[in-house]
Each structure stands twice: as structure tokens, then as C-alpha cells.
Structure 1
Amino acid sequence: MSTPFFKDKPIILDHVKSWPDSPDRTIQSAGRDSYADQAVQKALRSDPKTSFKLSDCDTLLNKYEPFKIGECTLYEKDPILALTQFSSSKSCYISDDSFPPDKWVNQYNGVLRHSRLKEKLKGDNPVMYLNGPNITDANQSNLGDCGFVSTTGAISLHPQGHNLLFSSIYPPVYNPMGVYSMRIIDQEQGKTGYLIVDDDLPDENYSYMTDNGEFWFFLIEKAFAKLGGGYSNLGGGSEKYYGLASTSNISITEEKKEEVWRNNFIPFFQGEQLTTYQGTGNTTQYLIPNHAYAVIDAAEWKDIRLVRLHNPWNTVKYNGDFCPGSQKWNDVPQEIQDKAFQNNRFYIQWEEKNIPTTFWMPYDYYRQDIPKISKIYLGNDLPDVLKKIANPNPIQERGDNGWEVQPRSH
């Protein structure tokens, strides 16, 4: 066993059983079945041209039990279905004036260029997910948030985290009303909250999606920017808001390298199929300095011990032993490459070529540049209602007409 496979399918707008189940919303009568209502379906197919402010909805929102995390307002009950219905009745989309562009200021300063989602995607048919969240979907670009992108990527492959991520945003389809809710687990206050985010997005190349019509990561990035007070504050550690937790770093010293491999790497990655993220320091020999990576696997065959990483740029940028195309792989039978090391996974298509997005490196090389490892695991404070989806099992059901929509290729 190694990195788990997930059986996510394309989401079909009017077959709500194909939507990822969000049981916390279901018990509030705001889950996927509620979106089968004809009026809601009509709203999700509309195209309003004028807007009104989120603050103009305060009377409605106050019914959903607002509370604060820092300066950010969340709601104990998810208001997004009601907001969608309310804005549809006015034939308007909603603009979030609690987090306007002048609060998005990044480390370069200045007012950001921005546009709504349908404008940003330049006429493509927008879909939140092509086929569920995947580590290869999002790419870090001009924003220094490698830790945030790597954390999100690691969660997308984590056996307990994947479905919590997949069900975190609602509705999980393009909403012409311009607003979505992001589930946030506040472990300090012991509350599950829902953060409202609109689809007015930066045009500063902070990040980009591998497929131009997919947009889930943009909303998560903005939600955490709003929660943290700006895009420049994005970093690692967001796993706690999904109901996950992380251990302290375990040091990999020369004296303990055998012990850590046997007691941590093999149990974490081969036994529990976990994923995590780590960062390099100022000086490196093999990896990019001061950069975060998702650490997604570790495996051994005979005397070969390798660790698998993903660069949030979705490019390898490692040329050492056992990099993609390395002559070292000639010593490993193809069957072992495919089964033990899963070398046939994590590619994207570009100009009809399969481009690798992850890489293996020897354990000894890894510990030179990242002499530590940690474990992401299911947090003790995850609400009971979410525990039933905190596993690799599918959280979508087959619609009446089956899976009619085929995923687009990258």
C-alpha cells in the first residue's frame, strides 16, 4: 500500500447526489438534497448583472449565529443556501464588502487588479472540480505561499483529509450569485463555522489552476486569506481548520536515521498511507531553499530507500538520483516501479506530453535538506457528524442517469 486512490467523479449540477456529501450541512437542512429544489436549480443557472453588498444581508445572516475568529465573522449554521435564494429573488449577485480588495494587500503593496470568477476564466465553462480535489490541480505562482499550497496538496491526498477538503466548499458548483461557504473547524473554540467568500478574485497570478476552467483552489485560497487578514499571511498549518492535527517535527539525525525510517516513515506512509508537508532551510544541496513541499510517500525495495515529494509549482526542479528519467530507475524492474513506487501516477498533460509533477529522492538526500518529518492525523476535536466521511470512501452517489459528464483532460 502507498498513496491512496480516490474514486471522485465529476459533479453534475442537477444530480445533487453526485455532489460531495456534507453531513454537517445536511442536519441543518442545507445539504446537497436541498439544492434539488427547482427554484435553487434555476438560481444556479441564472446570470445576474447587478450586485448588492453582503452587509445588506445582515438581518438574514444574524439568524445563522455569527461568531468571530480574530477579526473574521463566521456562522455556526451555514447561510449559503439562504443567501443564494435571497440574492436570486433580487436578481443580483453578492459582493463581500467585509473583505474588499483594499484588504488584500500583499507583500508588494498596492491595490490589486481583480475580477469575478466568470471573467477570470475568460468564457470557459467553469467547474469547481474536474474530478475532486487533486494535488496536481493548483500551482503556486507569484505569491510566497508555498506552505499553504503544499498543505492543501497534502490534504488532498490524505486518507482522512481528502473528503473533508472535498466537502468543505458549498455549493460545489459554479454559483452565479457569487458566494460560497467554506467550512472551518475552530478547534480552539470547539465550533464548526462557515465563512462566506465571494468570487471576486485577484488578477495578480498568485496561483493558477492546471485546467483553466477549474476553480476550487481559488476559493479556498481567498477563504483562508480572509480568515488570516490578507493573502500575504497565507502559510502552512491550515490542516487544523479541516479538523486535522499535526505532530511536532521528528528530527532525523545521523544516529537516529534508521530508527526514524523504520518507526516513522514506513508506518506513516506505507502503513497508514498518510501525507504531510515540510520546508527546507536557507541552505540546501538538492532542493530549493526556503521552500515547502508536500511529502506524500516513502518506499523501499532491496537497499533502495526513497521519499516522494511534490513541489507546489507542479514542476520537479530536482535532478538528483531517482529523479524522473534518472538512469537509477534502470535498476528497478518496471513492475516494482509501478506497484511499489507508483511511478505511473501524478502526471499532467501539456502539449500532448505527460509531465511529471512529483519526484522520488533517496532518503539520505531528503534528510540532508529536510532533516525532519511530521505526521498529519485526524484531530480529536473533529465533530462526530464529520467522522463518517473522514476516510477514503466515496462521498458521492450515482445520479439517476449515472455519471453523464466526463472529466476534461489537462
Structure 2
Amino acid sequence: MKKLCAKRWDHKCPIIFHNTLSEPIQMIWIDYEGNEQPFTVLNSGGKCCQQAGATHPFIMRRMNDEKRKVVSIFVPTEETVDYFEVVPGMFMYDEERDGKMVDEDDEEIVVGDQVEEIEEEIIEDQSKHVTICKMTKAREEDWKLIRSRFDGHELVDISIRNDTSRKYNVFRVDEEGNQTSHGYSAPISTFWATFAYPGNVFLLKNECGSVEFVLKVSDKSTVYIIESNYLESTACIDDDKQSSCRNILLKNEDKRIGPRKMGFNSPEIVQDIVNELKRRNSKFIDEDFPPRSDCVRAQNLFKRPAIFKNISVMDPIQGKLEDCFLISSISGAALRTRLLRKVFTHCEAIDPKLGLYALTFYLEPNNEKMTLLLDDYLPAENGHLKFAHSQDRGELWISLIEKGIAKLVGDYDKINPQTNSHLFYPSNILSLLLGGRSKQLDWFSGQSTTATDMMKKGTFWPLIEKLMDSSLSVPVCGTKPGKEGSDSINSNGLVNAHGYSLLSYRKFPEHDLKLVNLRNTWGRIEYNGPWSDNSPEWDQYPDVKKALEYRNADDGCFYMTYEAFENCFGIVWWND
């Protein structure tokens, strides 16, 4: 009997799942306790990218089936390369055994606690190994002479992953150099796929008809990535009331740095754009990260918008995005007010009516400063901000940081690192905002880790206390996945696989008591164990109640003991 559960998290890789079935499937991760954790639904032909670890099982269940039968299982190994295709017939059901799942050797497969190693054969049979090839930008003198060749006799199934914000029309070049339209590659990590022979050539043209990429098919490369780390010459979106100041952007093209080359290493660009906007009597619009259809300018949404009103860890409220880990980092950064204000240093001299904001981020590993330009368009509905926002209406620093991260990863919907291939985890966000290098400790697997070793030696909490006492570093944390599934509330009142901010700690040696103060990024729903709101401990220890100025409020903040934290949470991130 093969029993499935995740075992460790020391080898990480993004996996692309492709549903080739004619029906939708539920994608499910099997956690460390053998519990099913659904994370998305893939429609027929759909693809998604999921951060995974070696030994982490994924199962796919039918959606249009009362028994929700498993159609496929995938367990990455350290050798697995980025791609898995769901095809029918991998696993069967034995109706004589109450519809239990069996493999092709008639051996039963169950989801549950890990009892024995999963046989390598089940992994090798199910995984499709591919080589990833990044495409390079085309030069006109190169592609005009290109002709397709036939370097092999077997067709290759090729795919293009588009990591840019642009649509590309795809053309096949035949042996004589003639071009035939082959559809298009849609923006932001979507796919275009076809069959071709090794040696065949495809051209990718922008919407102006210019060739930007050349794809030469190889039998060793079946997934091609359109490189996003270059300046994308997007279509001009200026009008008589707003401008992207493209002339200035192009002048500073060689000074672009950071993820997707969205930032600049020249802060002087800010004043240049301010002067240009004033000369044109225009508002700024960001052509590198154009406004969505649901966006409204902050100056039109609020009577008196301001970057800061009263900075507090209580300010950040998570919106409709699943970006709790980002919000926990933003909330934690509010503990370092002086450093947080430096993110918006350039904004102090900018008239908000220009619609321009300039953030200063720090790039690892050397804390290189990056200037990130933003317009003041923010997603909104019914007169309220749709995503992350402050409890103080019209205060923008939280929404602007979230927009800045969205620009760096390509879209608001790509912020969550658990469902996308970027590496903007809480520690990385803290490093961007406050400087330093990203660090983390995890112990949610139940296996021996550096964190569990430190807990045994008594060195874990001294580190966390040191970080909370620091004027530079900020620790944040995440709960364990839990059997109820991600974002479900467990019996302790905590949200599973959810980001929390670490606010403070207090020790009362006379009572042999150590407490840590945390905050839920939702600004509500709190821990219900010992030392939580309404717990009897507050009345049993009135001196503690007085020292901590305890008040009962549904604000997402709560206390718990060090021991409870170790049991309920599973990871800590910080900037060092």
C-alpha cells in the first residue's frame, strides 16, 4: 500500500500543471499529516504554476463526479523539472473494493500518514521531464534570414510561457521563409502550445507587427519562456490629460534594475518626470504597469488622500486578494516607522495632484536602492479600495506598497508566492522595505529542522526576542496548514496557512510566564486559547493584565504563550 503525505521542504521548485482532460479537475496538495489541501481548479486545457517541494504529493480529483475520483497523482523529486501533464488512465478504481484507488499493478493507494517511502516508479511514470529554454530578444538582421529545417522525424509538443504583460502573435516560418499565422501568446504566464519538428522556427511579433523573439524548436527543449527581464516598449497610452513621460523612461532605459527591470537606479528620474508633468499640465500614468479596468485614481476616490496619517501596525487590512503574507510583512514594517517613511522619501516633494508616487526599495544582497515609479490608479469598487488598504480612509501607504509588489511580479493576482513562481515571500518583502537579507526558520513539517533544534537548545526564542527588540529587523510568521484546509479557521481560532504579524513579547518570571503578541492580517478573528481575549487567565493574574494594559477587542490582536506559538505556528520570516 502506498501512503501519501509531504515529508520535507528543503528542495523547492515551481511546478507547471497542465490539464489535458476534457473536464475540470480539483488540484490538491497533500500536507505533512496526510490531509488534503485544495488550492485551485484547472479547467480543461488550463495550466497553473505552483511552488512545491520534493516529496510533496499532489492529487487531481474529478469535479463532475459524485465520488470525486482521483485521475492523477504527482510527487516531485529533486530531479523533477518544472512540468507535469494530467492525462487520463493513470489511476483506476476497483469497484469491487468500494471504489478504492489502485495503480496499474492493482496496488491500493491511500492518502494518509507517511508509513513507507513512495516507490520511485510511481514518480517516474507520472512526471514529464522537460528542459526550460529562455528565449532571447530578436535582431532584425537575424530573423529575416531564418528558414525552418527538419532536424528530427518525430513531432515535439512545445509550449510558450509568456511572463511579460504583452500579447504576442505567433507565426511559423516554413522552409522557404514564408510566414503563417499560428495564433497568439497571451500575457502573464499563460501558454501557447503546438506540435512542431526540431529545427522549425516561430516568430513572435508584438501588436505593432515587429518581431521581438525567435523560437527555434529543439528536441531537448519543449517549454520556452519569453524573457521578461528587459524593457518592454509598450504601446503609448498618453492622452491630453495624462502622460507616461515615455521620453524620460527611454532616456533612462540603461538604468533599469530589479525584478522585471521595473525600477531605476537613478532617483533623479523622479524630478525629471515631475518637471515634465508640470510642463505638460498632465497627470502620470504608468505604461510599465497600466491601470486595470477597475482602477480609479486615488485623488478622485478620496477627498484628502495622504501617504501617511497615523502609522500603526493596526492600519493594514487585507482586501480581496489572497496576500495575507504580504500584509503581515507590511504590518510588521509599521513597527519600524523611521525606516518605513524612507520608502516614501521621494514622495514628500511631489504634488499628489500629479498622480505620481516614487517608492524606494532595497535589493538583496547588497541593499542597492531601487526607485519604483507608480501612478495613483488603485483597484476599487463601490467607492472603496478593493485590495489592501488602511483602516484610516484615504491613507495610501499600504495600497501603494501592495501595488509596487504587484508591479514587480507582473499583476495583483500573482502576488501570492504559494500559487506563483516568484520568490517574494514575507522575508523578501521585509528586505525590500527595510533593507537587510531575507531569512526564515520553519518547523511545520514535524520533522527535525534547524528551528526544532534551536527550540530544544533554548536558542529559538532569544533570536525572536532579539529581532523584535531590533530597530532594523522585523519577524513575521505563518500558521501550519491544518486538516481543515488553507484559510479555514481551526479549533484554536487561528486561520490555517495564514500570515500573522509578531508585535511584541513580555516575560513575567515571577509567574514563569512568557507571552507573545500577534495580529491577524484580516484585522479580526483571533486565537481562543489561554491568554486570548476573554480567557480566565487575565483575572487570575491581575498584575499581568495591568502591565499589558489588556483590553478585549475584536481587532485581530491577541496574546499566547511561547509554547502555544510553537504548537500553532510553523514558520518565521525576517530581514536580517
TM-score by length of 1: 0.66
Letter in 2 for 1:67: R
Alignment of 1:375-386 (within 5 A): 375-377=574-576
Q: Is the 8 A contact 2:262 2:407 kept in 1?
A: no
Equivalent position SS for 2:352? coil
Which residue of 2 is the match for residue 128 of structure 1?
307
Which residue of 2 is the match for residue 199 of structure 1?
376
Alignment of 1:201-216 (within 5 A): 201-203=378-380, 205-216=386-397
Q: Distance in 2 between matches of 1:215 and 1:273?
A: 23
Letter in 2 for 1:219: L
Which structure has more relative contact order (CA 8 Å, sep 6+)? It is 1
Residue 217 of structure 1 and its aligned partner are, at CA, apart by 1.1
Out of 125, 129, 146, the residue aligned to residue 324 of structure 2 is 146
Q: What do the CA deviations read for 1:197-230 (whole angstroms, capped 9, x no partner)?
A: 0001111522232011211111111111101111
Residue 333 of structure 1 and its aligned partner are, at CA, apart by 2.8
Q: Distance in 2 between matches of 1:271 and 1:186?
A: 20
Q: 1:364 to 1:87 in 2, by over 3 A?
A: same
Equivalent position SS for 1:96? coil
Q: Distance in 1 between matches of 2:342 and 2:247?
A: 26
Q: Is the 8 A contact 1:65 1:76 kept in 2?
A: no
Out of 82, 86, 97, the residue aligned to residue 287 of structure 2 is 97
Q: Distance in 2 between matches of 1:171 and 1:272?
A: 23
Q: What do the CA deviations read for 1:339-383 (whole angstroms, capped 9, x no partner)?
A: 4x4647xx9xxxxxx654411112222111214445433xxxxxx
Letter in 2 for 1:118: Q
Which residue of 1 is the match for residue 339 of structure 2?
164
Residue 320 of structure 1 and its aligned partner are, at CA, apart by 1.9
Q: Distance in 1 between matches of 2:409 and 2:472?
A: 30
Residues 1:238 and 2:429 aligned together: yes
Letter in 1 for 2:430: E
Q: 1:264 to 1:59 in 2, by over 3 A?
A: closer
Residue 260 of structure 1 and its aligned partner are, at CA, apart by 4.0
Query: Matched residues, percent identical?
Result: 21
Structure 2 unaligned residues grouped into runs of 5+: 1-238, 417-425, 444-450, 483-489
Alignment of 1:251-266 (within 5 A): 251=443, 253=452, 256-257=455-456, 259-260=458-459, 262-266=461-465
Q: Distance in 1 between matches of 2:363 and 2:438?
A: 15
Letter in 2 for 1:155: A
Letter in 2 for 1:215: L
Alignment of 1:243-392 (within 5 A): 243-249=435-441, 251=443, 253=452, 256-257=455-456, 259-260=458-459, 262-269=461-468, 275-283=474-482, 285-286=491-492, 287-301=494-508, 302-334=511-543, 336-339=544-547, 341=548, 343=550, 356-377=555-576
Letter in 2 for 1:244: G
Q: Is the 8 A contact 2:501 2:518 kept in 1?
A: yes
Q: Is the 8 A contact 1:253 1:371 kept in 2?
A: no
Deviating above 6 A after TM superposition, structure 1's stretches of 4 or more consecutive aligned residues are none
Residue 254 of structure 1 and its aligned partner are, at CA, apart by 9.3
Q: What do the CA deviations read for 1:25-65 (whole angstroms, capped 9, x no partner)?
A: xxxxxxxxxxxxxxxxxxxxxxxx952331x4324662596
Equivalent position SS for 2:276? helix
Q: Distance in 2 between matches of 1:254 and 1:94?
A: 52
Equivalent position SS for 1:101? coil
Equivalent position SS for 1:238? helix
Q: 1:262 to 1:369 in 2, by over 3 A?
A: closer
Which residue of 1 is the match for residue 242 of structure 2?
52
Query: Which has the larger helix fraction?
Result: 1
Which residue of 2 is the match for residue 185 of structure 1?
362
Q: Distance in 1 between matches of 2:472 and 2:277?
A: 43
Out of 328, 333, 338, the residue aligned to residue 155 of structure 1 is 333
Q: 1:273 to 1:92 in 2, by over 3 A?
A: closer
Q: 1:69 to 1:269 in 2, by over 3 A?
A: closer
Equivalent position SS for 1:282? coil
More moved, 304-313 vs 315-324: 315-324
Q: Distance in 2 between matches of 1:309 and 1:317?
A: 9
Q: Distance in 1 between matches of 2:262 and 2:453?
A: 48
Q: 1:244 to 1:343 in 2, by over 3 A?
A: farther
TM-score by length of 2: 0.48
Q: Distance in 2 between matches of 1:70 and 1:64?
A: 14
Number of equivalenced pairs: 303
Residue 189 of structure 1 and its aligned partner are, at CA, apart by 7.3
Q: 1:267 to 1:115 in 2, by over 3 A?
A: closer
Q: Calculate the aligned-residue CA RMSD, in Å.
A: 3.0
Q: What do the CA deviations read for 1:100-148 (whole angstroms, capped 9, x no partner)?
A: 135xxxxxxxxx4111112222xx21121113x3221120021000010
